[in-house]
Structure formats: structure tokens, C-alpha cells
Amino acid sequence: MGVNGAFGRWSSCLLVLLCILGIYTTPAVSVKKENFKTCDQSGFCKRNRAYADTVTSTSGFKSPYTLEAASVKFDHGVLSGTVIKSLADGATVRLPLTVALFDSGVARVTLDEEKRKKGEIELRHGSKARKDRYNEAEKWAIVGGTKLSSGAATKAAGKGVTSVVYGPESKFEAIITNSPFAVEFKRDGETQIKFNDKLYMNYEHWRPKIDKPVAEKKEGEEAPPEDTTGEDESTWWDESFGGNTDSKPRGPEAVALDISFPGYEHVFGAAEHTGSLSLKETRGGDGKFSDPYRLYNSDVFEYEMDSPMTLYGSIPFVQAHKKDSTVGVLWLNAAETWIDVTKSTASTNPLSLGIGAKTTTNTHWISESGLLDVFVFLGPKPQDVIGAYSELTGYTQLPQHFAIAYHQCRWNYVTDEDVKDVDRKFDKHRIPYDVIWLDIEYTHEKEYFTWDPMTFPDPLTMQKQLDGHERKLVYIIDPHIKNTDNYPVVDELKSKDLATHNKDDNIYEGWCWPGSSHWVDAFNPKAHDWWKTLFRYDKFKGTAKNSWLWNDMNEPSVFNGPETTMPKDNLHHGKWEHRDVHNLNGLTFVNATYNALLARDKEEEKHNVRPFVLTRSFYSGSQRMGAMWTGDNQAIWSHLEASIPMLLSLNIAGFPFAGADVGGFFGNPSKELLTRWYQAGAFYPFFRGHAHIDTRRREPYLAGEPYTGIITQALRLRYSLLPAWYTAFHEASTTGAPIIRPQYYVHPSDEKGSAIDDQFYVGSTGLLAKPVTVEGAESQEIYLADKETYYDYFDFWTYEGPGKEKVAAPLDTIPLLMQGGHIIPRRDRPRRSSGLMKWDPFTLVVVIGHSGDAEGNLYLDDGESFGFQEGAYIHRKFAFSTATDSLQSEDLAPTGTSTSKKAKAYLASMAQVHVEKIIVVGAPNAWKSKAMVQVSETTSGSSSAATREVPFEFVAKDEGKAAYAVVKNPGIAIGVGWKVQF
């Protein structure tokens, strides 16, 4: 190859080694903030913040945006028109407007730019990029809920104003004002959301670059003063950061809009960030941030706490909440986005000293490119907003059952024998787990779709051992493909031209774990077709049917790129610039992997199984494909504490299948911290222990007693409650409901608890958890929002709400309460994995509250196939009535659901699965003398079977512990109707 070639290869090796050593070893310090932009370093953010400041400080500021009255039309649920932007030189810019009203009650406001849309602009540097604004985000993010409203209608309004009523019973109203252009949304006549109320809207139109003459300095004269009267053009045409220069061939093209929530004190969402669930103000001051919340998916290791800094994923969806009212907006834009949050308080009476004052939250959204495209949700309940958002972007995947159990991971299990040894030791110590994971070291020299022949010579035998106990293997495959010789995958990628291109429209080369790499362009449909072929069992030899996938580094992470990612002027399929689609990149890659895993051989082509894929990077809609985790956290107490509001934020943002690395990825946790983290992790929807390659091994059996025993208890608690968790996942997959639920969601009328983010409810079970996240803590103070009885999960100690209750929490105890009025299904027999619990009997815990009644649900299916879509499932409602002293099981499946062949086969397979115990907590004293209860079962084709008596045990109240009763072996099948008469 000659001297230059040899030097190039040595330089390449050195560069990637420095990247790995300098960035990805366990650092002594936290995140390198200097590697990531602040708003002041992001040209479009700084410009639009300055624009907002100018508007605020200018008396009588006149917005340049006016809706042209003659252009306004309304037809079949769509209002259209043209917004005119008036320029200082007298010219105008035409911005086509669409306001669409949907049957779901959702509204959508879209603003485009006519000149770019028609391609009537010139690109600089001979760029081959698209000329129009990116308009395909909905192709990836939106899947439903967009049927236009047939009932929407205009109504009389004042001059220069158009009013449209829509939504359920026409209770919603959109009021569009012509000058200055603004939109107001009302529900039941009360204003809920305002667009451009503060006049911050700014649509950076296309304009040619005009090179201004530089005045010559004559000898003996001072240099002419700099012209500061015009706009700051310093970052319009190019922008440099960290040694990289963005060529910006389309010039400035940012879009910005202020969205206000009158009367709303709290705004939640804008995941993913650290910090409180209720978003903080971002314009400086005590307890406030000085930078906006940033959405720009990035590889940020050892991220800092309580920060608006960007992380791995972006969901540009926020909800505003006040007593008995929740509303929300989705900002559908995949480019880099910043969100300023400010609050103002006003009182109707200046002498009221703040009593009765109302707080308004103002948000200022700023995106670098693309359309101004906003969806509006008017509630009024939290579930109304989250449900409508989920219908729009897709419900979370109903995962395979194993996926909601415990996952054991580290970077890296070093050989196939190492994997088998860990598997055996879990069994030896009687610790349940379902999945073991392999990080990048399993590959041959970081070449994906290969096995290292020295360390993993026999992967099939390894997977066979796991399969013996119904366990799975997850291996990692990232979007960077090693650029090397004799590697068929990269040869195909290049020959088929399926990689992302650079600004010159050649295949882009960057650096990641393998060294020189190319990136799969998952925006290209042909790349999806090719990607599917790589996962076939006969293509990726050594993979088995119990192996699944982990997609990491898909922001994308590029070690030598600007902000550790891809240059914004790179080109994707369709000639869209990377700046337009950046936050969608991870979603498209996971989408390709998900579809590839649906069928890896001919048998699976006929009978798809549900894929399992974990992603680090995500966007609205990623929830349809699998799970996510919060990335490279640290083994310190503050990161354990932060995991709870982070996961709550994701749950209310439509992505509930979320978790954090248990134990912390970087560093070595103390045994107390590791134990407390497992106790918290037992309540993460996605439950995985993970650690960095330089950390000490920390499998639960290595902790030693009492820690191993306490961790095992936490794991067994998770496994016993898997029926409740799976039911919560089913609810999320059909309604979008969060799996772990914050206070405001469960108690929307309770203003005191709206911002609480360190405790949560599990699904609809009434289980209220507050994991210990502080070193040395022996107790927890739990806030009870309602006038209801709560019971300690483990000993039935009684607490009465509303108010705060101190709950004992020594190291071996998880603060976990049961809210009265619920029935919790569980399986109590300890097993090695969840797959071995499939035919185990159930225990029903009936928790009686103030009303004396209780109810709960149970959902079951085969836990792996899509047979549930053909009725192959069991869905039961359990209801206890104090009026009749009876507990009944009712079928929740729609009539006719169980008639398919698959449904009948599944129900037949579950015929012998029964309820082995019923525990009634808070049992009435009137039962004290009972020794027997009557049980009757409804069988197929008959009204009921004969009534029989079964033994009954009553345990009286003991000090603060509630009375309870136990029905043992009632002999009733889980899948049919029955009645227990007390």
C-alpha cells in the first residue's frame, strides 16, 4: 500500500485508541460538558433567545406575522391559509398554514415555507441536499388517530378571527387570530393553550447570502466601526464547534414558537433529561436552569444530575397539569431542539397577597430546521392526553413475557464458558433470572454478525444450556459497520450503497468501536430489506431462537464527530440532511432491527414471534418496537435517586418500557447501594443489571450475606408480581397508560402531590412504592393523597390517608404499600426463570378499602407469539363486593373472541392452571367465626357447576396490623368464571 497507506492505517488505529481510552474508560471526572453545546454556542438557539429578549424589551413590538384573511378556507375538518411574514425591506415571505382537527379530539397546526417547498431556492457549496423543509417525521412517528373530524365546524367570531369547534360534544375550540397570527385553544369555554401569545414566533426564511463589502482602512485612520444595526449573521452560513465546521448549504432555517399554558403551574415531559419530573424554569435564578432543555440525541456518558443537558433520546411531548386538568402538545420536529420554560404568577386582586394567584407556564420551542408542526391535546384527564398521544404515535409493544423479568448484563462476559458459568451460579444460589447479555466483545474484532472464534467457539451450545431453563441471550449490534477488508457485511453495505453519505454525497466514514466505520442508513427502505437478511439463522450462524437484540450507539455515536455524533450536513436517503432527521435516527435503526427479528427462518415467516429489542436512542414512536434504558449512569446514590423521576417522565411520555442500569454502569457501588438499587430496580418496567468493563464483577451471588439474600428477595418479589406487571404492560399496549404512574396521574385533583416524583404506583394494582435512594436510610416518608386505607405489602400494617406516613425501611425492606380497593394477582412459587412459571397457580390478594369493595384485572397469553391478536388470551376481572360478601371472576374478552382455532388451543392449554390461594386484607370482623366458604365455577356450555365448600382461615387484627383471611386451594381455574361466597 506504500508509505502513505501504512501511515494512514497506523493513524487510524491511534485515533480510535485515543477515542476509546480518552472517552470510554471509567473516568475520574463527570461528563465533559465542553464537548456539548450550550444555547450560546448553538447559533439558532442563541438567535431565537435574543429575538425573544428583543420582543420582551421592546414596547409595542409588532409581530411580522399575519394570517392573510382572503386565504382562509375551512373544509372537512381542515382550516388552511397563508401566513405572511413582513420583512424590514418591505418584502414578504409566504408560509402555508394548515390547522387539522381529528376525530380523536387532537388538533394539528402546521406551518411550511412556500419558496423552499417549491424548490425556489439556491443551495450553497454545490450541495445535493433537498431544498424543501423536512416533512417526513410523521412517516416514522405517526401511526394513527388522524382521521379528520366530520363534526368540526366554524362558528361566528369577531373580525380578523376564525373560530372552529371540534372534539367530543364540540367542547373544544380553536381560535385563529389573523394579526398578529396566533392560535388559542379552549375547552368548555376556558383557555387552555396559546400559540404566539408572547409573539416569540420566528420562522427563518430562505435568503441568498450577500457578501458585504469590507471597508478598507486607510493609512492613519481608525478602522470603521462594526455595523450592529442588522441581524447577527455570524452563524447563518457556517458554524464551527469542536474542530468541525457545518457548511449549512440552506442558510438559516430555524423555527420557533412560544406555547403558553394559562393557569398551569406544572409542565412534565420533554424526555430525556435528569432532574425533577416537573420541569424547571430555564432563564436563570435560584433553583432554575440558565440553559433551555435540549433535545439532541447524544452519547453523553456519566451524565450530570439535575440538568437540562441533552441525553440519548428525545420525546418532544409535554403535558401541563393543574387541579383536575391536563393538556399537552407534541412538537413534531426531529432536528436539534431547545425548550425554554418560564413561569409568571398573576393575581386578579392586587390586595390578595398572592392568595388565589394563578401561575402560567410559558414554553419557547426552538428547532434548527424542518416544519413548525404541533399537535394539541386538550384532556381533561392525564389519561386522555397520554392515550390520545399514544394512539397518534403508537402504543408500547406488548413484549414477550421473559422481557419483563430480570436481565443480567455486563461489558463483557468474556467467553461462552463464562456465560455458562454465570448461568450455573445463579441456579446454585437459587436466584431467578431470565436473560444474559453480551456486549461488543463477543464479536470477531468488532465485526457485527460474527463470533470471536477464540472466546465464543460454540455459541449454540451456550444458548442450548440457557434454553434448558427457559432463558434467553441478548447480543449487541450497533449501526456502525467496520470498514475493513474481508468482511462481507461492509462489502455489501458499500456495493449496495446503503450507508449514510457525507456532504459531498460519498459514503461517510467516521470512527467508533471498530475504528474506521460506515453507518447503515436506516431511512432507506432498501437498507431495511438488506438488514433483514443479516439476521437469518442460516446467515448469522451461531444464533438460536432464544437470542434477541440490543441496539446501542444509535444516536448515532461517532467518536470523532461534532458533539460525538454525525455531521449535520451529512446526507441520508432522499437527500435529507442529517440535521433534519437526527433525533429520528435511533428510531429508524430499531425499526429495521424489529422487522428483521419478526422472521429469521421459514417457520417464523409463517408464525411470527414478538421481537425483543433494547435501544438507547429514541424518539416519539420508538415505544412500538421495544424497550429503552437511561444509558451510562454512575454507581453513586444520586444516580439511583435520579432514575425514578427519569423513568416516570418516560412513562408519561408514552414510552413506559424503560429502565436504568441497576448498580450503575460506571464505578463500583457499595454493597448497600447495590442492594438498594436492586430493590428499586424490581419496580423498573425494564429491569437489568449492567456494568462497565473496568468494574468489579457484581453478580448478585458475589455480594455475600446478608446482601445476596436481600437482593434475592427483591428479585423474587418481582417474579411473584409478574402477573400484575404483565397485566400493566397489556394495559399500556392497548391504552397507552403508564406502567409506573406518578402522583398527578393517579390523583389529578390533589395539588399538593402534583410534583412528587420519588414514589409511584404500579399499573392499576394500587401498589405504591417508594424505594430507598439515600445512603443509610432506615425509614421513608410516603405521601398518601386520598382518604383511603393503605396496607404494608409484607405485614399488612395499616395507614390512613390523606397525609404523610413514616414507613420503616431497614436494608432488608422495600417501602411498598397496597391501596385499598384493589385485587392483585401474583404467583408465589419460586422458579429459576419466568418461563418455568407458565403453568404455576395464582394467588389473589384482595385489598379492602373504605368502600368495602375491591377489584382488579389479570391478563395472560402465551407470552411469546402474536396469537393474542386472534383471541388467544385470558383477560379476567376480579370483583369483591361487600354488599354480597362475594368475590367473582368475569370475562373481559369481547364476545366471540375465543372462537378462533388459536384461542381455543390456548384456553385448552390453560385449563388446569388454577387459583391456589385467596388472601383478603382488611377482612371484616364478621368473618371471624367462619370456617368454610362456598365456591362455584362457571364452565363452558353451562351456567355454573355445583357449589362446594372449602376451608377458610381468619386472622384477627393485631395492633396496627389489619385482619386478614385466607382461602386455601379453592380449586377454581384461572380462565373461567367463578364465585367465592364468604
Asked if 645 contacts 277 with a C-beta cutoff of 8 angstroms, the reply is yes
Which is the catalytic residue, given 299, 452, 552, 937?
Answer: 552
Query: What does 429-466 look like in DSSP terms, one character per residue?
Result: TT----EEEE-GGGSBTTBTT---TTT-S-HHHHHHHH
Q: Is 552 among the catalytic positions?
A: yes
Give, in degrees to the nearest 5, the angle at Cα 721 between 715 and 727: 135
Asked if 975 contacts 906 with a C-beta cutoff of 8 angstroms, the reply is no
Bridge-based pairing of strands 435-438 and 472-476 is parallel
Residue 329 belongs to what H/E stretch?
strand 325-331
The 10 Å Cβ neighbour count of residue 303 is 24
Query: What does 929-961 look like in DSSP terms, one character per residue?
Result: T--EEEEEE--TTSS----EEEEEEEE--BTTB
Q: Is 937 among the catalytic positions?
A: no
Query: What does 211-272 look like in DSSP terms, one character per residue?
Result: -PPPPPPPTTSPPPPP--SS---TTTS-EEETTEEE--TT----EEEEEEETT--EEEE--S
Whole-angstrom Cα distance, residue 564 to residue 562? 5
Whole-angstrom Cα distance, residue 71 to residue 114? 14
Q: Is 555 among the catalytic positions?
A: yes
> Does residue 275 come out as left (phi exceeding 0), alpha (psi in the -120 to 50 range) or beta?
left
Asked if 4 contacts 507 with a C-beta cutoff of 8 angstroms, the reply is no
The strand pairing partners of 952, in sequence order, are 967
* Upstream peptide bond of 556 is cis (omega within 30 degrees of 0): yes
Residue 651 belongs to what H/E stretch?
helix 637-651
Which is the catalytic residue, given 555, 580, 661, 758?
Answer: 555
Q: How far is CA 683 from CA 472, 614, 648, 860, in A?
A: 21, 18, 11, 20
Which is the catalytic residue, given 439, 632, 758, 792?
Answer: 632
Cell of 498: 446503503
Asked if 303 contacts 660 with a C-beta cutoff of 8 angstroms, the reply is no
Cell of 841: 397457580
Whole-angstrom Cα distance, residue 562 to residue 560? 7
Asked if 122 contacts 116 with a C-beta cutoff of 8 angstroms, the reply is no
Q: Which residues are catalytic?
A: 552, 555, 632
